[in-house]
Amino acid sequence: MKDLKPKEIVTELDKYIIGQKDAKKSVAIALRNRWRRRQLDKDLQEEIAPKNIILIGPTGVGKTEIARRLANLTDSPFYKVEASKFTEVGYVGRDVESMIRDIVELTVNNLRVRQQDDVQEKAAKMAEERVLDILLPPSPSTPATPAFGDNLPAPAENNDDTIPSGSTREKLRTMLRRGKLDSRKVDLDVTAQASPMVEIFSNTGMEEMGINVKDMLGNLMPKNTKRRKVSVKDAMKILTMEEAAHLVDMEKVKTDAIEMVEQSGIIFIDEIDKIAGKGQSHGPEVSKEGVQRDLLPIVEGSSVPTKYGTVKTDHILFIASGAFHVSKPSDLIPELQGRFPIRVELTSLGAEEFTRILTEPKNALVLQYIALLRTEGVVISFTQDAVEKIADIAVEVNSTTENIGARRLHTLMEKLLEEILFEAPDIEEKTLTIDAGFVTKQLMDIVENQDLSRYIL
């Protein structure tokens, strides 16, 4: 973050998202403010709360994409959740604290994988010793081999089949490194620990109780080892993974994960407009306002227990989004409104934006289909008038049916290239040009028939 200025954040987002300058500017400022806060004295750091954001706009305009790319850009823990999946306390279902447990779980897994990658070289040396022990079990009279493969002789540079003189173990080591033993079968004991299936319903959260009970009983259960006959090459992979897992300091991983979530975590709450509304629910219906009140302490800042430790949510950045067609942000309870001080309205997309979306981003749809068909040896190209025609049709279909924004381009492109994608392996003409006439021929009949377009497009 030290090297990412707000303007540079916006520039990076521009590579994937067309338009929406105001939204990009707001999230860039919010992100930079997090870095600024961490440069302050500890006492002042605790006093500065994150400026949570509500992104307001119809579906398919880039709300989710902005938040997701933002997290990738800064390597921050990121979790996306739909507000409509939560239930009020007292009902069976997902409680709001589960979002904190989930983001911690994801962060722990990511950090564990990174640490395992860092110790791969050392783990590979340890695995090599274990494979050699299987191939040539050490006898009591055999001198001990160097620990972890330190000071091992380098493999021979030549590629012939000659084996250098020396002990049998060193001969086997050289053959192993050259890959001459890859196909040999060996018996390997693989640890397999079955987790007992237990579910407990509790007002503290069914998911968390279920996990804790499984962990507790799982540690009491004896670890089963299953003997398998595998190739030496596969044995090296399995044993390297085992050794890497043993080398990882899980206590440090847990501590680092909790700190990352607390200081730089981003939680994206989608469909927050679905829980907006001033009560008046009747019967056994989950109260929207009840979900909001459960959500409030998490956004305000509270301590949430997880199986890795207690997580404080005071400085997690919450980005909420919603179309707000029926409700409006002011329908949220006042306390929750106050915790989302930044409101950004995203604009609907028109033909000009659709044209740019099809061709400009790094993951542009046109580029995706060109790459997909190239795997079959088919080279397709799109003329500018074809791209503009697709954009015009997307605008027209969005106006006559449900407006789903840029997602309409996916349905149009798939229908447009349906025959080419189907015939691609057997097609004789390997070079095709998609022009406006081809687009009109493939799509206009469906577009003009509104009843048909509602089902197909």
pLDDT higher than 90, residue 384: yes
Query: 53-56 and 317-322: which strand pairing?
Result: parallel
Least confident of 198-207, 336-345, 352-361: 198-207
Q: Is the dihedral of CA 95, 97, 99, 102 positive or negative?
A: negative
Query: 431-434 and 309-312: which strand pairing?
Result: unpaired
pLDDT higher than 50, residue 284: no
Residue-wise pLDDT for 106-121, tens only, equals 999 999 999 888 888 8
pLDDT value at residue 203: 45
pLDDT higher than 60, residue 72: yes
pLDDT value at residue 305: 92
The long-range contacts involving 401-406, CB below 8 angstroms and separated by at least 24 positions, are 401/450, 401/453, 401/454, 401/457, 403/58, 403/59, 403/60, 403/348, 404/59, 404/60, 405/58, 405/59, 405/60, 405/61, 405/348, 405/349, 406/60, 406/61, 406/62, 406/349, 406/353, 406/354, 406/357
The mean pLDDT value for 261-271 works out to 91
Pseudo-torsion of CA 269, 273, 274, 277, nearest 10°?
130
pLDDT higher than 80, residue 263: yes
**Residue 190: band (very low, low, confident or very high) from pLDDT cuts 50, 70, 90:** confident
pLDDT higher than 70, residue 350: yes
pLDDT value at residue 432: 92
pLDDT value at residue 160: 42
Instruction: Give CA–CA dist 309/287, Å, rounded.
Output: 30
pLDDT value at residue 439: 92
pLDDT higher than 60, residue 198: no
**Residue 312: band (very low, low, confident or very high) from pLDDT cuts 50, 70, 90:** very high
Spatial contact of 32 and 323, defined as CB atoms under 8 Å apart: no
Name the residue with higher pLDDT: 162 or 410: 410
The mean pLDDT value for 318-331 works out to 87
Query: 224-231 and 185-192: which strand pairing?
Result: antiparallel
Instruction: Give CA–CA dist 108/116, Å, rounded.
Output: 12
pLDDT higher than 80, residue 239: yes
pLDDT value at residue 453: 79
Q: Is 162 exposed, middle or buried (0-12, 13-18, 19+ CB in 10 A)?
A: exposed
Least confident of 41-45, 155-159, 229-233, 434-438: 155-159
pLDDT value at residue 164: 46
Spatial contact of 168 and 136, defined as CB atoms under 8 Å apart: yes
SS3 69: helix
SS3 448: helix
Q: Is the pTM of this model over 0.85?
A: no
pLDDT higher than 90, residue 318: yes
Where do runs of H (alpha helix) occur along 333-383? 334-338, 351-359, 365-374
In 15-145 the beta strands, taken as DSSP E runs, fall at 53-56, 78-82
Where do runs of H (alpha helix) occur along 265-339? 288-300, 334-338
Task: Return the percentage of the chain with pLDDT > 90, whole number.
Answer: 29
Domains along the sequence of the chain with CATH: 6-115+256-345 (3.40.50.300), 120-247 (no CATH), 351-447 (1.10.8.60)
pLDDT higher than 50, residue 3: yes
